[in-house]
Amino acid sequence: MKPILILGDSLGAQPEYGYPIMVEEALRKSGLSYSVINSSVPGSNILGHLDRACEILPKTEGFSVTIVQVGINDSKILVGETEPLVELEWFKSKLGTLCQKLKQKSDRVLLLGLPSLEFEKINSSNLSRDYWSWEADLYKSYDTALKQTAELYGCGFVPLWDKFENKDLFNQDGVHPNADGQALICSEIVSAILDSSPK
């Protein structure tokens, strides 16, 4: 059985309770012995994801599923700047390129939607004052872009926004899901994989 590839950022790079570990365990309990290759790098944006895909894909025979978790770092605004780190149209263009590349070596590609962040907590934190912040409406537009790109390129879309909204599912920074939040992401991914698996 071909493995599952996860291309993510720091949300998937939690060593003790990250959703990639949970996904592999949950699928095994469901009788599917997938191995999960976790290529999640803290701080990665769409350009980093593309670079890693171009490095990984030529070396593999393919993946059963590739899961793409991206957009949080692209949409953040650095202190002193007025525009996001990766402009929205550029993000959409590069995301489309990534989808095309991944579909050449993946039976199925799933794009994860963005979780609704705890913006009040973020804006009152040292992160917001010293490094970067997010603007809620702009951030939501990246979630919309993920959904639209999935539809355009025939990929699956796993919505997370409503699942996280107004719920205690984040660590103190308001950005990174806690263990319960990671478990929720895992549950949504596994449901999407099982729904498309041969019965």
Pick the CATH number of 4-196 from 3.40.50.1110, 2.60.120.310, 3.30.70.260, 3.40.50.150: 3.40.50.1110
Helix/strand number for the chain, H first, E second: 9, 7
At 199, the pLDDT band (50, 70, 90 cuts) reads very low
- CA separation (Å) from 81 to 64, 76, 132? 40, 10, 9
pLDDT at 95 over 90: yes
Could you read off the pLDDT of 27-46 as tens digits, one per residue? 999 999 899 999 999 999 99
For the chain, percent of residues with pLDDT exceeding 70: 96
At 21, the pLDDT band (50, 70, 90 cuts) reads very high
User: Which of 122-156 are b and which e, b meaning 16 or more Cβ less than 10 Å from the residue's Cβ?
Assistant: beebebbeeebbbeeeebbbbbebbbebbeebebb
Average model confidence (pLDDT) for the chain?
93
Could you read off the pLDDT of 101-156 as tens digits, one per residue? 999 999 999 999 999 999 888 877 776 667 888 999 999 999 999 999 999 999 99
Between 174 and 70, residue with greater pLDDT: 70
> How far apart are the C-alpha atoms of 66 and 59, rounded to whole Å?
15
Q: Can you give the pLDDT at residue 197? A: 57
Q: Where are the domains of the chain?
A: 4-196
